[in-house]
Structure 1
Amino acid sequence: MINSKLLQTVRGFIADNFLFRAENEALGDDQSLLDSGIVDSTGVLEIIAFLEQTYEISIADSEIVPENLDSVGRIADYVERKRAA
């Protein structure tokens, strides 16, 4: 079970930086940020910088893949795995 505070923090960052307020209401945990056009490659770099600073983790280039960073749920799950390691 993913930490709800972590989901909320990640969703808040994405909403504040990439969405209009109305779109935030519909952002699901599993919605693809890339396929939906919410985030582009530059946005992914902004998310990475936010995660590294906020959660004091280091994200390797090899970990910058959709499986880790393409939705709010995947990002939260990835951060939990990194923090547990």
Structure 2
Amino acid sequence: MTQPIKDSIKAFIIENFLFGDTAYDLQDDASLIENEVIDSTGVLELVAFIEDRFDFVMADADIVPANLDSVARIAAFVAKHTQEPARNKMSA
């Protein structure tokens, strides 16, 4: 079930941080920070994308490498939060 999430995240990263370079071999479990794909400003852009695309608000405590340092980690984090009851989502 995380494949569509993973595909969406990967497309965002390729478009926004790799400037559309589809030749870059972006592995699902590769560190985005260690491989210099994103920096601290990029993390903020990524958080904004996640919140907008997947319709939930990330807590400050969730903005850590354990959740955001690879496509696989991001997809797992998003899948977990999009499957939680609606009471955990911020209402508009």
Q: TM-score, normalised by structure 2?
A: 0.85
- Aligned-pair distance for 1:83? 1.0
Please name the residue that 1:44 is paired with: 43
CA shift digits 1:17-69 (9 cap, x unpaired): 0115121xx10100000000000000000000000000001101101111100
Matched position secondary structure for 1:58: coil
Please name the residue that 2:59 is paired with: 60
Larger radius of gyration: 2
Please name the residue that 1:77 is paired with: 76
Deviates more, 1:14-23 or 1:36-45: 14-23
More helix by share: 1
Q: Structure 1 stretches (4+) deviating beyond 2 angstroms?
A: none
Counterpart AA for 1:57: F
RMSD of the alignment, in Å?
1.0
Structure 1: which 5+ residue stretches go unaligned? none
Structure 2: which 5+ residue stretches go unaligned? 85-92
Query: Number of paired residues?
Result: 82
Matched position secondary structure for 2:6: helix
- Aligned-pair distance for 1:4? 1.0
Identity score, percent: 44
